[in-house]
Structure 1
Amino acid sequence: MPSKRKVELAVLALCLNKLNVKKKKKKKRRAEWVKKWLLDRDKHTHINLLSELRTYPSDFHNYMRMDDETYHTLLEMVTPLIEKQDTKMRRSINPHERLTATLRYLATGRTYEDLKFTTCISPQALSKIIPETCRAIYQVLAPQYLKVSCVFLHTNPI
């Protein structure tokens, strides 16, 4: 007959084993690093629609809130400020996609979560891209379109 000590150790081992099994079952499966449909940006994005809309100027204007020529002028102006380098891990989001996502955000007021479906850009990336692109737009357009009076600058130094 086994000693009382051996029985206690066996019961303790069974309890610990059961706790260990429960912990393993509770562990959540890790989420994907990037969803597959977001990786296929070229296939699913609004950029394809934009290419088609160029043949219909009124529809392009309705979608972008500006004509094609104005869009390209703005794109040329902000590209040096918003262009990113590709890495070994992933391809960067090009200035065309960045500007289009920002203009759609400004035109529609949609949330980043909603915009991710038309832009195929994650909400986390949009939360960085849109403010950065807005700063770039302001930086390139402010000197030409937003003249500040000298009196204001003198009384309110930046």
Structure 2
Amino acid sequence: MRGKLLVILSIFILILTTSTVATKKVVFEEQAAGYRYKVTFQEPMTRWEIGYKNQKFIIEENGKNKNYLEKYRNNVEELNIQIIKLIIYTFYLISILIVAFFFKKKMKIKTYILVLIIVVFSTFALVNIIQATFEINSTYKEATKYYHILAK
């Protein structure tokens, strides 16, 4: 009898602990350029942990700040995308220059044809690098704006 009671009690404790663990769930987490957020969903509310470098704020989502929190999240995610684009196009430009250098050295291609090819591909890369840089700057300013609004 005592053994059955112990088994039932241990099952009850196991069910109780798993149900309390299941109510707290991290939905998503992201960081870029010093900004970060972590969204935790707890049964009646959603808790946001936002931060910049060493600062950290915990905010409970409500009707007033929901829009600002979503915009902050979108800007942090967009920062990551723009940084990756900048890295890819910079790598692309460096690759073009390396390939052109080896082509000039190894093969006998006329200089004006090689210069034309380099100019076309390099212009494409430079335009995208400049565009990504401006977008990073703009998105960074937006993230800063929403961070300051939420950190008040």
More strand by share: 2
Give the TM interval when normalised to the shorter protein.
Answer: under 0.3
Could you tell me the TM-score, scaled by structure 2's length? 0.28
What is the TM-score with the length of structure 1 in the denominator?
0.27
